[in-house]
Amino acid sequence: MHHSSYEQINPDFLIGKLRYEIASLKDSDRIRIFLDEYFCTREPLQVALEVTPEEIHEQYDSVLPSVLSKPVSILGFEKNELVCICLNSIQELSSENRHDPICDSFNVLKDDYSQDIENGPYRSVKANAIKVFLSELERGLPTSLPDCRRLFNIEIVVVHPMHKGRGICAELIDLSIKLAKSYDCDYIATCATAANSQYIFAKNNFSPIKEIQLSKFLQNGIPVFSNVKEDASSCVLMVKHIKE
Ligand SMILES: CC(C)(COP(=O)(O)OP(=O)(O)OC[C@H]1O[C@@H](n2cnc3c(N)ncnc32)[C@H](O)[C@@H]1OP(=O)(O)O)[C@@H](O)C(=O)NCCC(=O)NCCS
Domain boundaries, the chain: 5-241
Minimum-distance ligand 1 atom for the alpha carbon of 172: 12
Residue 2 — very low, low, confident or very high, per pLDDT cuts 50/70/90? very low
Q: Where are the beta strands (DSSP E) in the chain?
A: 19-22, 74-78, 81-92, 150-159, 187-192, 207-213, 218-219, 222-223, 234-241
pLDDT of residue 231: 66
Selected from 3.40.50.300, 3.60.20.40, 3.40.630.30, 1.10.238.10, the CATH number assigned to the domain covering 5-241 reads 3.40.630.30
Convert the pLDDT of each residue in 148-203 to its tens digit.
999 999 999 999 999 999 999 999 999 999 999 999 999 999 999 999 999 999 99
Mutation to probe ligand 1, out of 133, 158, 200 (largest number of atoms < 8 A from CB): 200
Largest CA distance in the chain: 52
The one-letter amino acid code at 7 reads: E
In the structure, which protein residues have their CB atom closer than 6 angstroms to any atom of ligand 1? 39, 42-43, 157-159, 164-170, 192-194, 196-197, 199-200
Nearest C-alpha neighbor of 205 from the set 181, 236, 241, 163: 241
Residue 197 Cα to ligand 1 middle (Å):
6
Where does residue 122 fall: left (phi above 0), alpha (psi -120 to 50 degrees), or beta otherwise? Answer: beta
**Measured at the alpha carbon of residue 52, what is the angle toward residues 48 and 53, in degrees to the nearest 5?**
125
Nearest residue by C-alpha to atom 14 in ligand 1: 167
3-class state of residue 159 by DSSP:
strand
Residue 14 has a pLDDT of: 87
For residue 217, is pLDDT > 80?
A: yes
Question: Which value, in Å, is the radius of gyration of the alpha carbons in the chain?
Answer: 18
